[in-house]
Structure 1
Amino acid sequence: MAEFPAKVSTETSSPQAASGGGGFHSFTSRYVSMDMSFIRTVPAALMLVEIGLGLLVWALIASSSYTQIPAYGWVMFVSVVFWLLTIFLFLILFLGIQNKMSFVPWPLALLVFNVMATLLYLTAFITNAASVYNSPQGAAAFFAIVVTLAYGASAFFAFMSWRGDGGNAATNTVPA
């Protein structure tokens, strides 16, 4: 008869933990996982800058009488839409939801998002700067160009990530 192993590893759990009834902690660990290392990256810092300064852009425009000049409608649209989308994207990346959605080509999606944000924020900045008539709009124009530069830097890092992921099929298929 075979001998019983000298060392046996056993693990026990409570019925509550086994059934998943551990409250909020079991919910977050099962469905999402906060990626604390993401916060320390340059793209995450740029996203936080974009969120903070984007909020300043639309708040400064909203604090003035922007409805009297139709050009500011475009500035409000661009700043609010990209502010909300950047918050949403930041949460997806921070909570690790992108790992559950492997069908999305994330490097390419981030590249397209940041290039579009850069171009549209540039048009919003030009529109804002051409229509300045008081100091809140002038401050909004300043923050709009800073946000444009931040989205441009994010586009650069997204391009580097996309290129590093094998996004260029020609360099991957041609033997060296």
Structure 2
Amino acid sequence: MEIDSESRIDRSSADRTSKSSNIESLGLSHSKLAYDGNFIRSACGMFMAGEIVFGLLVWTLIGGTEYLHVPALGWVMFVSVLCWVLTVILFLLYLTTAHTRIPQIPWTILGICFNGSASVLYLTAAVVTGVSSNVAIRGRYYFISWVASTIFASIAMVCYAGNTFVNYKSWRSKCEDT
């Protein structure tokens, strides 16, 4: 029995080796994404986690109401969902260090542009939600959701602005080193 199990182990490792060499002969390689636990503890990672949480709260609070009756809230939904999806994608790229495999993209400049734009968009979204909440009939059950989404949009805007500042400082230090 021991001989059979050893020969099976040898055959399975030979199969893996041949599959690996077949992949390499086709010009393909294995991709190994690494988890970067330090990213979550960095200022950029904490800001991005806040952006994800507060952005999610904004669009779920508005999405759970009859926001289509107030056309301006469609803009808030657009901003919050778009920024949330893009932030989640960027967060996963940074968390798995996949961004290091694409050195052609200037990641700090991309961060400055994206976070700066998102902070301006969230500022407009917070203003629009706040104004729409004041116009809405206060007796409706979703008035509280709109007020809460105004607060969370403001906090998300602060997170994006903070992340813009962190990315700017990182870019500035790279410029001074060269």
**TM bin (shorter chain):** 0.7 to 0.9
1:146 corresponds to: 155
**Matched residues in 2 for 1:64 and 1:124: separation?**
16
Q: TM-score, normalised by structure 1?
A: 0.79
Is 1:82 the counterpart of 2:83 in the alignment? yes
1:9 corresponds to: none
- CA deviation after TM superposition for structure 1 residue 114, in Å: 0.5
**Matched residues in 2 for 1:127 and 1:148: separation?**
13
**Where do residues 56-135 of structure 1 align in structure 2 (5 Å cutoff)?**
56-132=57-133, 133=136, 134-135=143-144
**Matched residues in 2 for 1:97 and 1:15: separation?**
30
Corresponding residue pairs, total: 149
2:170 corresponds to: 161
Distance 1:16 1:51, change over 3 A: farther
**Matched residues in 2 for 1:117 and 1:17: separation?**
46
2:25 corresponds to: none
Query: Gapped runs of 5+ residues in structure 2?
Result: 1-12, 22-29, 137-142
- CA deviation after TM superposition for structure 1 residue 30, in Å: 3.0
Q: Is the 8 A contact 1:107 1:165 kept in 2?
A: no
Question: Which has a greater percent of helix?
Answer: 2
2:50 corresponds to: 49
- CA deviation after TM superposition for structure 1 residue 15, in Å: 3.5
> Quick one: percent identity of the two aligned structures?
34
In structure 1, the residue corresponding to 2:153 is in which secondary structure?
helix
Q: TM-score, normalised by structure 2?
A: 0.78
RMSD: 1.8
Distance 1:38 1:16, change over 3 A: farther
Which consecutive segments of 4 or more residues in structure 1 shift more than 2 A?
Answer: 14-21
Distance 1:90 1:16, change over 3 A: farther
- CA deviation after TM superposition for structure 1 residue 97, in Å: 1.0
Read off the aligned partner of 1:155 and give its amino acid letter.
T
**Matched residues in 1 for 2:49 and 2:15: separation?**
38
Higher RCO structure, 1 or 2 (CA under 8 Å, sep 6+) = 2
- Segment of structure 1 superposing worse, 137-146 or 32-41: 32-41
Query: Gapped runs of 5+ residues in structure 1?
Result: 1-13, 22-28
Deviations 1:135-170 (A, max 9, x none): 11000001000100011100100100111111x7xx
In structure 2, the residue corresponding to 1:58 is in which secondary structure?
helix
**Where do residues 5-24 of structure 1 align in structure 2 (5 Å cutoff)?**
14-15=13-14, 18=17, 19-20=19-20
